[in-house]
Amino acid sequence: MTRVLLVQPWNFHDEGVREHDLSRQWRNGPYSLLLLATQLRTHGHEVRIVDMIRDLVVMRGEVEACLASLREQIHDFKPEIIGFGFFSIHYFEVQRAVAAARAACAEIGLKPLFIAGGIHASTEPHKTIEELGFDYSFKGEADLGIVELADGVKPITVRGVVGRTSLMPSTGDEVKPLDSLPFPDWSLCDYRFYAHPTYARMSIRKTSSLDMIMGRGCVYKCAFCAYNALSAVRFYSAEYLVEQMEYMHRQFGNSAVYFTDSTIGNNRKLIREMCELMLRRGTHTRVEWYANIRPNQVSEESLKLMWRAGCRYLFYGFESGSQRVLDLMVKKCPVEANYEAAELHNRLHFPYHASMLLGYPGEREEDIEASFEFLRRTQPPSIGVNWYVPLPGSPDYDKLRAEGVINTDDPQEWRRIGEVNNCRVYADVPEERFRQLFKQMERLAYVEIARSPSRAAWGCISPPQSEAPQPGENDRAVEAIVEAARSRATYGTTPVELRQSA
């Protein structure tokens, strides 16, 4: 039996934030660590999760307090393996937490093995070891590899484990079939924190939700996405998924489930089977759900079936209203599909979120105009406007590096992924002009459409008070509304309250 401590680094946005309104925020639990922890426990190992995302919120934004708590956990648990799971945006937080964990170990003469996993470690295994202070990186999926490690197999012989001197890193063996994995045990983290009823997840009403995943990998290869760097495409069965929903509802009391897959539409047969099974078992009367999906993967028939089976919200990465840009992104999605999906939702009164991406390499001003046009015409009930940042592990990143556009890896830039508006400009638009256009799109999304009659037609108790025009309102007040919406968009979506639906 080996003692394994799994650590999730904190979100830097929460640093120094003393008060949180959890009913307006969206955070997702440490799903992958729960999966690995449950798997380890099933194989007889002792495991703990240190969830610094939750800790930093509970500890009122004080990073030092979180690090002190990590130290205490190490002293108390005396782990033999310490594993961190993270994305590129967590680079600095991981660096700091690993240094603190190493110091805590040294204080009591502990020499655990430090291993990094997740997308960043998988795509940059050697740099992760050198720059972040690990002994090993894990490349790929670790459901099987982590058990071998804990069983005492020599690290460097475990497939997926990369050491300082590994020249030809292997990739972790993939578990087959996915149904053979145990359901992640949410009691290994503070699941009540994640299931806190909130408006931010599903703009319609407060829901208490936990996460699930339908499968791994993606059949598409969008150039900005790092998804394919990790997993081959495969899925759980409908029976497994519905049973898991029922189990979570019984065990943890959540009334909703969010499928975190980048798109659930890669297996439409599975969606149909899952919906039909939910309807037969009555699961839809106990648990509602929401998910991400591509516009070209829905039809009127499938949306109606999903709605009947308890789906109450769908998130779309529309990205752009310009076919030229969608093609540059290798989205393999006609712009008409964007319009059709949005119009279908509008017609069915099925709430959805429109995620837009601005600043793509090669994007011109007329392309951005096409995105304005898309939003103006479709008037989605909820919108997120994102600034393009190349993700390590994505085809774009490799291309921009090969072309010399990216000269050095810049972790400061990675931590801005998907949220702020002062990153580097990659579009074919002069920088100042681009910044202006981005600002205008944020205003359109977060102020103008939010205040429009179309939003009210969704049944919103809208515009929400904070977004209602104020007498004598000035630019700074509008900017504050955008700022608030921007931070909500980072965690999910702009909350609106709806009275009725399809």
Residues that bind ligand SF4 (CB under 6 A): 218, 220-222, 225, 227, 262-263, 294, 317
Tell me which of ligand B12, ligand SF4, none is bound by residue 294, counting a contact when its beta carbon lies within the kind-specific cut-off of 5 to 8 angstroms: ligand SF4
Spell 251-277 as b/e; 16+ CB within 10 A means b.
ebebebbbbbbbbbbbbeebbbbbbeb
Least Å distance between CB 222 and ligand SF4? 3
Long-range contacts of 61-66 (CB under 8 A, 24+ apart): 61/14, 61/15, 61/16, 61/17, 61/18, 63/10, 63/15, 63/96, 66/10
Judged by beta carbon, residue 225 or residue 356, the one nearer ligand SF4 is 225
- Binding partner of residue 89 among ligand SF4, ligand B12, none, CB under 5 to 8 Å per kind? ligand B12
Whole-angstrom distance, CA of residue 82 vs CA of residue 149: 11
Packing angle, helices 335-348 and 365-378, rounded to 10: 20
CA dist list (Å): 165 to 145, 156, 194, 241 = 19, 10, 39, 41
CB nearer to ligand B12: pick between 172 and 463: 172
- As measured in angstroms, the least distance from the Cβ of 478 to ligand B12 is 24
Decide which of ligand B12, ligand SF4, none touches 138; Cβ closer than 5 to 8 Å per partner kind.
ligand B12
CB of 326 to ligand SF4, least distance (A): 11
- Cα separations in angstroms, 377 against 336, 348, 360, 449: 13, 16, 22, 11
Q: Of ligand B12, ligand SF4, none, which one sits near residue 220, judging by CB under 5 to 8 A according to partner kind?
A: ligand SF4
Query: Computed from CA positions of residues 53, 56, 61, 62, in that sequence, does the dihedral angle turn out positive or negative?
Result: negative
| Residue number, 310 or 317, with CB nearest to ligand SF4 | 317
Residues forming beta bridges with residue 7, ordered by sequence position: 50, 84
Nearer to ligand SF4, 134 or 313 (CB): 313
Cα 75 to the center of its chain, rounded Å: 32
Nearer to ligand B12, 59 or 142 (CB): 142
Closer residue to ligand SF4 (CB): 10 or 318 = 318
- From ligand B12, ligand SF4, none, interface partner of 60 (C-beta below 5 to 8 A by class): none
Q: Cβ of residue 422: shortest distance to ligand SF4, in angstroms?
A: 24
Element (DSSP H or E) covering residue 338: helix 335-348
Task: Give Cα separations from 142 to 79, 181, 403, 442, 474 (angstroms).
Answer: 18, 12, 33, 39, 53
| Nearest distance from C-beta of residue 195 to ligand B12, angstroms | 15
Q: Per-residue b/e over 133-151, b at no fewer than 16 CB within 10 Å? A: bbbbbbbbbbbbbbbbbbe
242 binds, among ligand B12, ligand SF4, none (CB under 5 to 8 A by kind): none
Q: Positive or negative CA dihedral for 277, 279, 281, 286?
A: positive
Q: Supply the minimum distance, in Å, between the C-beta of residue 317 and ligand SF4.
A: 6
Q: How many CA atoms lie within 13 A of 68 on its CB side?
A: 5
Q: Which does 83 bind (CB under 5 to 8 A by kind): ligand B12, ligand SF4, none?
A: ligand B12
Question: Shortest Cβ distance from residue 293 to ligand SF4 (Å)?
Answer: 9
Select 80 or 344, whichever has its Cβ closest to ligand B12. 80
Note the residue count of the chain: 502
**Residue (379 or 394) nearer to ligand B12, CB:** 394
Calculated CA dihedral for residues 111, 95, 25, 297, nearest 10 degrees: -100
Amino acid at 447: V
Looking at the Cβ atoms of 29 and 265, the one nearer to ligand SF4 is 265
Quick one: what does residue 392 bind among ligand SF4, ligand B12, none, with the CB cut-off 5 to 8 Å set by partner type? ligand B12
Residue 285 Cβ vs ligand B12, minimum distance, rounded to whole Å: 26
Q: Are 500 and 460 in contact (CB under 8 A)?
A: no
Distance CA 124, CA 102 (A): 21
Residue with tokens 């801005």: 416
State which residue, 140 or 463, has the beta carbon closest to ligand B12: 140
The nearest distance, CB 220 to ligand SF4, in angstroms, is: 4
Chain residues binding ligand B12 by CB under 6 A are 11, 28, 30-32, 35-36, 83-85, 87-89, 115, 117-120, 138, 141-143, 146, 213, 216, 225-227, 230-231, 260, 262, 391-394, 417-419, 490
387 — phi, psi (to 5°)? -95, 130
Spatial CA neighbour of 318 closest among 293, 287, 291, 288 = 293
Instruction: Tell me the closest approach of the beta carbon of residue 79 to ligand B12, in angstroms.
Output: 12
Q: Choose the contact partner of 417 out of ligand SF4, ligand B12, none; CB within 5 to 8 A by kind.
A: ligand B12
- The interface partner of residue 221, options being ligand SF4, ligand B12, none and the CB cut-off 5 to 8 Å by kind, is ligand SF4
